[in-house]
Amino acid sequence: MDSQNILHGQAALVTGASRGIGLAIARRLGSMGARVAVCARDAHRLEQAASAMRSEQIAVLPILADVSRSEDVTRMVAQVERTWGPIDIVVNNAGIGVFRPGHEATEADWDSVLDTNLKAVFLICRAVAPGMIQHGGGHIINISSLAGKNAFPGGAVYCASKWGLQGFSFCLAEDLRAHKIRVSVICPGSVSTDFGPHAGKDRGKMLQPEDVAHAVAALVTQAPQSFISEVLMRPTQKP
């Protein structure tokens, strides 16, 4: 099969896909032949992203949704399955960050970050797993961070969400591997996007969104007997 069409016929869902890493991943999967559902909370940016993908002849389904809300997740997954059938690939990319000392964080900070970065992944995995089990396989890729392994000042709430995501992902992988469903985690360092505190860093030396998309492409094209459970990504030079 043509490498540019290797995912032909497969349905993918990418969250937080209106810009940055999520959009790069959605475009990469689409360029490989997948039909891609993209979701975000900003209607204007979501339509801009979908329009750009259509101009590249990618079959795209934009869905306005807040993935921290169970009713939105249920509706979103049902819409994708109704439109394209079983979901083959899910990339949980949506995420937010609050960066301040843990003792100065508010309860609202905690709830918003944990709901988006961790609870939403649980909701989506719970929603897509039955279809993947029935279909006989699939890929769930959770975009974590090196902050899920390393502590830093001001990172208490964000790190808590990503450390939790690591634990959830590794356990879910054990729950689902007998069903030929691979659950993988990608942990990038600083990526040149609008997300996160990048003051004083050389963006030209940082990871780019397309680098993370490349890792996703590698995971979804593994040989049947292979299971890459975790990918750690760093720039070749410190920014």
Out of 158, 162, 169, 216, the active site residue is 158
Three-class secondary structure of residue 62 per DSSP? strand
CA distances from 164 to 19, 139, 204 (A): 25, 20, 30
- Which residues, 6+ apart, have CB-to-CB distance to 201 below 8 Å? 190, 239
In one-letter notation, the amino acid at residue 64 is: L
In one-letter notation, the amino acid at residue 178 is: A
| Strands across the sheet containing 11-15 | 60-64, 35-40, 11-15, 89-92, 138-143, 181-188, 230-233
Radius of gyration of the chain (CA): 17
Residue 92 main-chain phi, psi, to 5 deg: -85, 95
CA 118 to chain centre: 12
Q: Which of 145, 23, 37 is nearest to 89 (CA)?
A: 37
Instruction: Give CA–CA dist 30/34, Å, rounded.
Output: 5
Q: Does the annotation mark 18 as catalytic?
A: no
Please state whether beta strands 60-64 and 181-188 pair in parallel, antiparallel, or not at all (unpaired): unpaired
**Alpha-helical runs (H) found in 87-152:** 107-114, 120-135
Catalytic residue numbers read 158
